[in-house]
Amino acid sequence: MPISIAIVDYGMGNQASVVHALRSLGFRVKLTASANELDEAQLLVLPGVGAFPAAMEVLHQKGLVSYLKESARYGRPLIGICLGMQLLMSGSHEHGYTEGLDLIPGEVVPFDGQSVHIGWNSLEFTRQTAPWAASDGEAFYFNHSYHLSAPEEYRVAVTRHRSEFTSALQRGKVVGLQFHPEKSQAAGKTLLKNLISELTHA
């Protein structure tokens, strides 16, 4: 039976490309905001493109903040992508300060000089273990102007854009990816396949 994945649909993100990438890997994928349908999945994906405050407002409106916190507390695997990764944090300084899901301690801060990081860049993994080791040194696609200030213990990979920043992190079965694996061609698919297999079978 293929692994079942639910993509959290809150209207802010590149859901279509995430759905396509995951289905191409043989996973069963559903795009939904329904708690009942989310409960049926073995793993949740929180995508996101846009501003942190607006995303949190929509998650609150849809009752998904408490749902995602409870899911993580009970050990449900959760992968946040790009803005979705940032939403996992304690809060963000984008357009003032907004509290996040607080599933991983740390804050979202702007790059120095309001720099924007767009394009392909490599990942250097600080954990040379499954499922990360196979992707060490590979290039992935980024598009963001904020990054994470998070404790070292949760850092999985770093990338350099003027200075070094966290590009992947993990706390238990909650994982954040600052880049877009669904737009990163073969490297992205390899990482998604290895990561999802590890999180659902661990």
The full set of domain ranges for the chain reads 4-201
The owner of tokens 């899911």 is 71
| Alpha carbons 46 and 122: distance in angstroms, whole number | 23
Phi and psi at residue 51, to the nearest 5°: -95, 140
Per-position DSSP letters for the chain, written without gaps between them = -PPEEEEE-SS-S-HHHHHHHHHHTT-EEEEE--HHHHHT-SEEEE---S-HHHHHHHHHHTTHHHHHHHHHHTT--EEEETHHHHHTEEEE-TTS-EE---SEEEEEEEPGGG--EEEEEE-EES--STTTGGGTT-EEEEEESEEEE--GGGEEEEEEESEEEEEEEEETTEEEESSBGGGSHHHHHHHHHHHHHHHHH-
| Alpha carbons 125 and 190: distance in angstroms, whole number | 15
Closest among 8, 167, 155 to 77, alpha carbons compared: 8
Bridge partners, 46 (sequence order): 80
The predicted model scores a pTM of 0.94
**Residue 82 annotated as catalytic:** yes
pLDDT in tens, the chain (202 residues): 899 999 999 988 778 899 999 999 999 999 999 999 999 999 999 998 889 999 999 999 999 999 999 999 999 999 999 999 999 999 999 999 999 999 999 999 988 776 788 899 999 998 878 899 889 989 999 998 888 888 889 999 999 877 788 999 999 999 999 999 999 999 999 999 999 999 998 5
What is the CATH code for 4-201? 3.40.50.880
pLDDT, residue 114, reads 65
| Per annotation, catalytic residue among 20, 164, 180, 198 | 180
| Per annotation, catalytic residue among 20, 82, 93, 107 | 82
**Residue 182 annotated as catalytic:** yes
Per-residue pLDDT tens over the stretch 92-120: 999 999 999 999 999 999 887 767 888 99
First to last CA, the chain: 17
Half-sphere exposure of 76 (CA within 13 A, CB side): 22
| Per annotation, catalytic residue among 117, 147, 161, 182 | 182
